[in-house]
Amino acid sequence: MKNTIAIVGRPNVGKSTLFNRLVGHRKAIMDNQSGVTRDRHYGYGEWIGKHFTVIDTGGYVHGSDDVFEEGIRRQVKLAIDEADVVLFMVDVDAGMHGLDEEFANVLRRYQGKKPIYLVGNKADTNARAHAAGEFYALGVGDGDIFTISSQSGSGTGDLLDAVVSHFEDPWEEVTETELPKIAVVGRPNVGKSSLVNLLLGEERTIVTDIAGTTRDAIKTRYNAFGNEFILIDTAGLRRKTKVKEDIEFYSVLRSIRAMEESDVCIVMLDATRGVEAQDVNIIALADKNRKGIVILVNKWDLVEDKETNTTKKIEEQIYEKIAPIAYPPIIFTSVLTKQRVHKAIETAITVYENKTKKIPTSQLNEVMLRVIEEHQPPSTKGKMVRIKYVTQLPTHNPVFAFFCNLPQYVSESYTRYLENRLRENFDFGGVPIGIIFRKK
């Protein structure tokens, strides 16, 4: 599944405003992490049940010490390489700008390769929307222009309808059983390549090499010690680039790519550095994309003075930083000394099993109706919610539908109560679970 949108355009047309609108609803997770929101250039959004990642390339390419033309070329290349749909934004209030034409010149070279939409922003009024006509001359996109106001949100619904038509629905029904797809992700230098090399090099049991392109993650069939899965990694994909911040940025985008294609992500952290904002970002994205997650605290060999409760303390710190995400198992590894590497793999497989298992409806109701009996949904606005039965939907990820009389009156805290009881009674370790209420 690849659902990535990139927004390109000259400075000040409103790219970050649109970006924030598209990913706005995940503020709750992001904002309590200082530094996370400030310099994030990608985020997660949803529209009519479709999930996507948005990249704001403008927040990233500043022109800095590049000549400006080079900056534009890089920004467009990045969008074309990394995204599945490109939004080219212009400012209909300001009118045509020389830089818009320069962007268009570069973008036109990629016409037909990826869907490119021309977006006329700041069309706050009808008059302004009509003024957008002059941008047709740019010759970018399918000949149409979407006039929107990122500030008020008007027009963005039509734009998103068009954009998400290119995307798959991650909740589609399961059609086939395949091998688990496990991605190794994380920031640069946490030990991803070392882990992949250890797994693939030492065991020498690569059965097939499913070809990867230069921009995609590499997929390798792994088969050892009774474990069989597709390993998705980005380890070898280091960009030749002179620009320092490119390395981190590309590496995180690679991780997102690998993550999107996986069932379970092994998110690696560096034990000597603790959890950093970027790590939290990756984990939050994996959660939002409903991937299974295993966290490895790697380079454990470098941690000195390990006491009996050191791991406990570190676990607490990690869970605190990634709250409210509480389900990923944490494993302390050293790829260098091969400590707990197999445990990590086995855990990832278990997470996959948890993610794909189906609880029989009778068993589910037996347990959950008792749980509901013990603690009924509190009445809101004088309304009594009565849950009649529950069933697990035939989706890729565990989603439970609770059928009741007044689905709209179930509170957030009661939803959490149900989730916690589900997790206590059925093992969903490492797996995000969805809970929805439907009218009976």
Distances (CA, A) of 375 to 382, 402, 404, 429: 17, 15, 15, 24
Q: Respond yes or no on whether the N-terminal peptide bond of residue 180 is cis (omega within 30° of 0).
A: no
In the set 64, 151, 205, 317, which binds ligand GDP (CB under 6 A)?
151
How near is the Cβ of 140 to ligand GDP at its closest, in Å?
Answer: 17
Nearest in space to 166 (alpha carbons), one of 109, 86, 250, 88: 86
CA dist 216 and 192 (Å) reads 16
- What is the full DSSP assignment across 188-210? TTSSHHHHHHIIIIIH-----EE
Q: Residues annotated in the binding site for GTP, as ranges? A: 9-16, 56-60, 121-124, 186-193, 233-237, 298-301
How near is the Cβ of 198 to ligand GDP at its closest, in Å?
Answer: 9
Q: Residues 117-136: x/- map of binding to ligand GDP (CB under 6 A)?
A: ----xx-x------------
Kindly state the number of chain residues that form the binding site for ligand GDP, as judged by CB under 6 A.
31
Nearer to ligand GDP, 181 or 192 (CB): 192
| CB-count exposure of residue 75 (10 Å: 0-12, 13-18, 19+) | buried
Q: Does 355 bind ligand GDP (CB under 6 A)?
A: no
Stretch that binds ligand GDP, among 8-16, 78-86, 130-138, 392-400 (CB under 6 A): 8-16
Nearer to ligand GDP, 186 or 398 (CB): 186
In the set 58, 120, 328, 398, which binds ligand GDP (CB under 6 A)?
58
Whether the CB-CB separation of 390 and 364 falls below 8 Å is answered with: yes
Q: Does 68 bind ligand GDP (CB under 6 A)?
A: no
Sort strands 181-186 and 227-233 into parallel, antiparallel or unpaired: parallel
How near is the Cβ of 5 to ligand GDP at its closest, in Å?
Answer: 15
Q: Does 149 bind ligand GDP (CB under 6 A)?
A: yes
How near is the Cβ of 281 to ligand GDP at its closest, in Å?
Answer: 16
Q: Find the helix or strand (DSSP H, E) in which 224 lies.
A: strand 218-224
Nearer to ligand GDP, 140 or 235 (CB): 235
Nearer to ligand GDP, 4 or 121 (CB): 121
Nearest in space to 77 (alpha carbons), one of 244, 185, 214, 212: 214
In the set 46, 63, 110, 189, which binds ligand GDP (CB under 6 A)?
189
- What order of strands is seen across the sheet that includes strand 85-91? 42-47, 50-56, 4-8, 85-91, 116-121, 145-147
Nearer to ligand GDP, 336 or 399 (CB): 336
Nearer to ligand GDP, 20 or 365 (CB): 20
How near is the Cβ of 319 to ligand GDP at its closest, in Å?
Answer: 22
Distances (CA, A) of 50 to 243, 375, 396, 413, 434: 34, 33, 14, 25, 15
Contacts to ligand GDP from residues 201-240, by CB under 6 A: 235
- Return the SS3 of 237: coil
In the set 74, 192, 288, 321, which binds ligand GDP (CB under 6 A)?
192
- What is the full DSSP assignment across 304-356? -S--TTHHHHHHHHHHHHHTT-----EEE-BTTTTBTHHHHHHHHHHHHHHHH
Q: Does 17 bind ligand GDP (CB under 6 A)?
A: yes
How near is the Cβ of 10 to ligand GDP at its closest, in Å?
Answer: 7
CA dist 433 and 423 (Å) reads 9
How near is the Cβ of 439 to ligand GDP at its closest, in Å?
Answer: 37
How near is the Cβ of 16 to ligand GDP at its closest, in Å?
Answer: 3
Which residues of the shown chain bind ligand GDP in the complex (CB under 6 A)? 9, 11-17, 58, 121-122, 124, 149-151, 186, 188-194, 235, 298-299, 301-302, 334-336
